[in-house]
């Protein structure tokens, strides 16, 4: 596709087109969160995860998926408020690195008189990779969404009431 | 801007079923041609052949001097509006209108300008963010037209675009198409079975029956000078009254009535003296008078006019059916005898059904 040249037309076009970039970024954030979620409990280290953390983690993941999906739909419509929600969801992904993966990586359990690491390096870095990619997607989508929403809002303020986006 | 020529176009389906016979037409640049005829007469098939949706069995299709008979539909630079709109339900109106240009990979800013311009022409600017199911039938059809306008094709093709609309909406959308044609000055081919659409929209009408072109001409030519009985009975509402009559020198003799002929008419029918011909009389060419007694079966007041239906009657027997469109408000009751005279006649050869002479009197 050819490059846009007229910035005013590009902004005016936003009145009728969706913010697909931010929406797609939110979907990608969901996808990589799923990869992380599937990967995190792959373990042969007995009952390390069998505590309240596992229940909380599952519930959080469900809520995360729901919230991120809602954001993907709303940022599509240049809703700035949901861009901020998406930004928070992105930041949370970075924080999550320190909740389960980092703790599991540094924890050891004794199985058959042998001390074993709960999460080996390979699994640890895979989990980090998924969380970082998910977080980066969410943050990028949110920042772009905030920028576009504000641009559109400013542009619409210059138009007559009847010409605004319905 | 385009000149479209259809040369000896034929459509033959499997089993040697001929749907279109030797169709010839020269569509001039900026002309609106309406193909009209009853269901199954081959008008839509002809349009689909022009669009490239049907193969042309024989003949040539020439656009601006280039033979496009074998050119695929996508390369013909024509845009078609369908009866059922064919809009994408999950897309907004803006996206529907922009879709074909997006597929072509055009600059989004250029697409935007084209869509807004088309929406402005069609009064759709405030609807661009809506989905098709939020619009009325007329608006949806306007979107379908908008989708063709943004492509700026050489030829616009319309396949019964108003058939899905109610009578009121049909009238307003028809006027919009007419305005659109005037504004774009584009070459258009329009298919309909509705003669009102044909008469009001067309620069020229092609009247078809059973795959054959019956007559090509301006709406007035088809109305005033029908080439044969089919065109005479198809164009005009209510349809033309047709009677078998015998030419008796200075008058015509039909079942239950006699009509005098003037000198010019006698000259026209000179070679038909004592032979049977078909007399055609439009209901609006009958006035209250003395020549034909009509036994009334029903009386429909339309305000400005009254439609009187009945049978020609000699007092004892009733003969051919007749419909008269009389001026003013009449109050005939079933069984009444109304006397009418003819102020304009059309003559047709009984064997060939061709017009003997368009109009007399």
Q: Which of A2, A12, A13, A21 to mutate to test the interface with B (most CBs of B within 10 A)?
A: A13
CB-CB under 8 Å, B108 with A4: yes
Helix (H) / strand (E) containing B176: helix B167-184
Q: What is the pLDDT of residue A5?
A: 65
User: How many beta-carbon pairs below 8 A join chains A and B?
Assistant: 38
Q: Which of A3, A17, A18 to mutate to test the interface with B (most CBs of B within 10 A)?
A: A17
The residues that bridge with B331 in the sheet, in sequence order, are none
Of the candidates B165, B235, B227, the residue with the CA atom closest to the CA atom of residue B193: B235
Residues B313, B9: Cα–Cα separation, whole Å: 48
Alpha-carbon distance B206 to nearest alpha carbon in chain A (angstroms): 41
Residue B40 has pLDDT above 60, yes or no: yes
Please name each of the domains of chain B with its CATH number.
4-233 (3.40.50.300), 241-360 (2.40.50.100)
CB-CB under 8 Å, A166 with B129: yes
Q: What is the pLDDT of residue A108?
A: 83
- ipTM of the assembly? 0.72
Q: For residue B359, how many other CB atoms are within 10 A of its CB?
A: 14
- 3-class DSSP assignment, residue B63: strand
B24 contacts chain A (CB < 8 A):
no
CB-CB under 8 Å, A1 with B107: yes
Chain A residues with beta carbon closer than 8 angstroms to that of B95: 16-17
Q: pLDDT tens-digit profile of B197-250? A: 999 999 999 999 999 999 999 999 999 999 999 999 999 989 999 999 999 988
CB-CB under 8 Å, A162 with B109: no
Q: Residue B338 is encoded by which pair of tokens?
A: 């109304």
Q: What is the pLDDT of residue A82?
A: 96
Strand order across the beta sheet in which B257-260 lies: B257-260, B251-254, B241-248, B276-281, B345-349, B355-360
CB-CB under 8 Å, A13 with B129: no
Residue B300 has pLDDT above 80, yes or no: yes
- Closest in B109, B129, B130 to A4, CB measured: B109
Strands (DSSP E) contained in chain A are: 108-111, 114-117
pTM of structure: 0.78
Mean pLDDT in residue range A111-115: 80
Chain B residues with beta carbon closer than 8 angstroms to that of A9: 109, 112-113
CB-CB under 8 Å, A16 with B112: yes
CB-CB under 8 Å, B126 with A162: yes
Residues B241, B280: Cα–Cα separation, whole Å: 6
Mean pLDDT of chain A: 87
Helix (H) / strand (E) containing B51: helix B43-51
Residues B202, B215: Cα–Cα separation, whole Å: 14
Q: pLDDT tens-digit profile of B309-333? A: 999 988 788 889 999 999 999 999 9
What's A48's DSSP letter?
Answer: T
DSSP B93-155: HHHHHHHHHHHHT--HHHHHHHHHHHHHHTT-GGGTTS-GGGS-HHHHHHHHHHHHHTT--SE
**Every domain of chain A and the residues it spans:** 13-157
Q: What residue of A is the nearest CA neighbor of B106?
A: A1
Q: pLDDT tens-digit profile of B101-144? A: 999 889 989 999 999 998 988 888 889 999 999 998 888 988 99
Q: What residue of A is the nearest CA neighbor of B128?
A: A16
B113 contacts chain A (CB < 8 A):
yes
Mean pLDDT in residue range B278-285: 94
Mean pLDDT in residue range B331-336: 91
Q: Residue B71: pLDDT band by 50, 70, 90 thresholds? A: very high
Q: What is the pLDDT of residue A163?
A: 54
CB-CB under 8 Å, A5 with B126: no
Chain A residues with beta carbon closer than 8 angstroms to that of B130: 166
Q: What is the pLDDT of residue B360?
A: 44
Q: pLDDT tens-digit profile of B88-113? A: 999 999 999 999 999 988 998 999 99
């Amino acid at each position: 596709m050819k490059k846009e040249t007229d910035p005013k037309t590009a902004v005016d076009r936003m009145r009728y087109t969706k913010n697909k970039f931010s929406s797609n970024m939110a979907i990608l954030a969901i996808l990589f969160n799923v990869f992380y979620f599937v990967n995190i409990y792959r373990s042969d280290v007995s009952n390390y995860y069998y505590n309240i953390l596992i229940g909380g983690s599952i519930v959080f993941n469900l809520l995360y998926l729901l919230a991120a999906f809602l954001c993907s739909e709303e940022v599509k419509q240049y809703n700035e408020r949901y861009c901020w929600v998406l930004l928070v969801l992105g930041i949370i992904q970075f924080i999550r690195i320190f909740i389960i993966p980092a703790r599991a990586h540094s924890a050891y359990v004794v199985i058959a008189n042998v001390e074993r690491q709960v999460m080996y390096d390979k699994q640890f870095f895979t989990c980090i990779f998924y969380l970082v990619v998910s977080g980066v997607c969410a943050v990028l989508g949110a920042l772009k969404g905030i920028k576009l929403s504000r641009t559109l809002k400013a542009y619409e303020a210059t138009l007559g009431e009847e010409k605004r986006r319905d | 801007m385009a000149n479209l020529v259809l040369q000896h176009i034929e459509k033959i389906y499997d089993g040697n079923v001929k749907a279109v016979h030797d169709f010839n037409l020269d569509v001039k640049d900026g002309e609106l041609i309406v193909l009209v005829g009853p269901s199954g007469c081959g008008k839509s098939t002809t349009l689909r052949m022009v669009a490239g949706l049907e193969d042309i069995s024989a003949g040539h299709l020439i656009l601006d001097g280039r033979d496009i008979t074998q050119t695929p539909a996508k390369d013909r630079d024509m845009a078609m509006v369908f009866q059922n709109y064919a809009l994408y339900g999950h897309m907004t109106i803006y996206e529907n209108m922009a879709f074909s240009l997006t597929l072509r990979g055009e600059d989004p800013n250029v697409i935007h300008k084209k869509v807004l311009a088309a929406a402005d022409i069609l009064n759709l600017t405030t609807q661009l963010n809506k989905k098709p199911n939020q619009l009325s039938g007329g608006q949806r059809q306007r979107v379908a037209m908008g989708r063709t306008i943004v492509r700026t094709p050489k030829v616009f093709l319309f396949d019964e675009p108003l058939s899905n609309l109610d009578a009121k909406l049909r009238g307003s959308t028809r006027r919009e198409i007419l305005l659109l044609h005037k504004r774009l000055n584009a070459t258009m081919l329009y298919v309909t079975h509705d003669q009102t659409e044909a008469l009001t929209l067309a620069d020229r009408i092609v009247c078809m029956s059973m795959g054959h072109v019956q007559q090509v001409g301006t709406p007035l030519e088809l109305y005033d000078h029908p080439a044969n009985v089919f065109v005479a009975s198809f164009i005009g509402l209510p349809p033309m009254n047709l009677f078998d009559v015998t030419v008796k020198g200075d008058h015509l003799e039909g079942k239950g009535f006699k009509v005098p002929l003037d000198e010019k008419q006698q000259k026209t029918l000179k070679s038909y003296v004592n032979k049977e011909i078909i007399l055609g009389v439009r209901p609006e060419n009958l006035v209250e008078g003395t020549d034909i007694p009509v036994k009334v079966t029903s009386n429909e007041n339309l305000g400005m006019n009254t439609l009187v239906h009945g049978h020609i009657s000699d007092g004892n027997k009733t003969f051919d059916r007749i419909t008269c469109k009389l001026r003013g408000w009449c109050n005939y009751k079933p069984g009444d005898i109304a006397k009418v005279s003819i102020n304009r006649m059309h003559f047709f050869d009984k064997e060939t059904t061709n017009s003997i002479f368009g109009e007399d009197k």
